[in-house]
């Protein structure tokens, strides 16, 4: 086993920033807006680094797809303990339409190329909330998947994953190589402290183009329009059940 873990990190608009829809309704304003690493990706990086510290794996490789600024996100992952980074350069129109399908194709290609034994991702990104990339990557690679992980442990040539599901917790044992996606309670990510950021500047980030990996980035989706959520209308207070029924009839709901 190569002992290599691939971790995907995504650069997203910071969760505390108020989102504004662009005047032309084609998307949201991103220019100059504060961005940071997707919180679930931070958890994924932390888990990978923890596995390395426990000597269960040998190398952590951080991957991000996007324009030049994605390198900052990779640097943060390197500062948290990843060994090297891969920046898959995607810009312009391709970046606007970049979605889980394209990213999972890229990750699948990289996982094969790097001979990774584990791919750890965040369960979803906070900008699109898709929750698809991990699952698609596993399917493209034909690898088993342990998603919504709240606990991960390596047991020989298998990985035991405790998954958070609607009914409670489900424990699965899956063969390596596998894809794991991190949920909130998996761990508490460490800070990327300044000495580590300085050291991270010396770590390598390789530059790769999607074409080099043989990946076709054309999207199957077309965004027609982006709108702000409708303003919440004021409610009405009624005194009795009859009033309620009357109002519902009036507004055509029943």
Interacting residue ranges for other proteins, rule: CB under 8 A: 14-18, 20, 23, 31-34, 36, 39, 42, 126, 129, 184, 188-191, 193-195, 197-198
Nearest approach in angstroms of CB 185 to other proteins is 8
73 vs 117 by CB, closer to other proteins: 73
Nearest approach in angstroms of CB 53 to other proteins is 13
130 vs 140 by CB, closer to other proteins: 130
Going through 1-74 in order, the beta strands assigned E by DSSP cover 4-8, 11-13, 35-37, 59-66
Cis before 107 (ω within 30): no
Nearest approach in angstroms of CB 245 to other proteins is 27
Nearest approach in angstroms of CB 48 to other proteins is 16
Q: How far apart are CA 95 and CA 117, in angstroms?
A: 28
75 vs 87 by CB, closer to other proteins: 75
List strands edge to edge, sheet with 118-122. Answer: 168-175, 158-165, 145-155, 178-182, 118-122, 4-8, 59-66, 84-89, 205-208
Count of other CB atoms within 10 angstroms of residue 177 = 23
Query: 11, exposed or middle or buried, with CB in 10 Å at 0-12, 13-18, 19+?
Result: buried
Nearest approach in angstroms of CB 31 to other proteins is 8
34 vs 220 by CB, closer to other proteins: 34
45 vs 106 by CB, closer to other proteins: 45
Q: How far apart are CA 78 and CA 199, in angstroms?
A: 9
Q: Is residue 125 within 8 Å of residue 10, measured between CB atoms?
A: yes
Nearest approach in angstroms of CB 165 to other proteins is 15
46 vs 83 by CB, closer to other proteins: 46
Query: 208, exposed or middle or buried, with CB in 10 Å at 0-12, 13-18, 19+?
Result: middle
């Amino acid at each position: 086993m190569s002992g290599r873990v691939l971790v995907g990190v995504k650069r997203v608009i910071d969760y505390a920033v108020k989102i504004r829809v662009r005047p032309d309704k084609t998307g949201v304003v991103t220019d100059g807006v504060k961005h940071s690493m997707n919180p679930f990706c931070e958890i994924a990086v932390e888990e990978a680094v923890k596995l390395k510290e426990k000597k269960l794996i040998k190398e952590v490789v951080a991957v991000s797809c996007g324009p030049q600024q994605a390198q900052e996100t990779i640097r943060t992952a390197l500062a948290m303990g990843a060994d090297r980074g891969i920046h898959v350069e995607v810009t312009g129109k391709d970046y606007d339409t970049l979605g889980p399908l394209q990213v999972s194709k890229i990750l699948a290609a990289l996982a094969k190329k790097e001979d990774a034994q584990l791919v750890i991702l965040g369960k979803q990104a906070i900008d699109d909330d898709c929750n698809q990339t991990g699952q698609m990557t596993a399917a493209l690679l034909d690898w088993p998947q342990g998603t919504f992980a709240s606990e991960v442990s390596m047991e020989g040539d298998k990985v035991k994953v405790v998954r958070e599901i609607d009914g409670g917790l489900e424990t699965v044992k899956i063969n390596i190589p596998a894809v794991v996606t991190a949920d909130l309670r998996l761990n508490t990510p460490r800070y990327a402290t300044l000495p580590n950021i300085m050291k991270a500047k010396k770590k390598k980030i390789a530059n790769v183009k999607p074409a080099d990996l043989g990946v076709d980035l054309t999207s199957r989706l077309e965004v027609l329009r982006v709108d702000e959520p409708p303003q919440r209308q004021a409610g009405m207070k009624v005194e009795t059940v009859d009033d309620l029924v009357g109002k519902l009839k009036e507004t055509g709901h029943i």
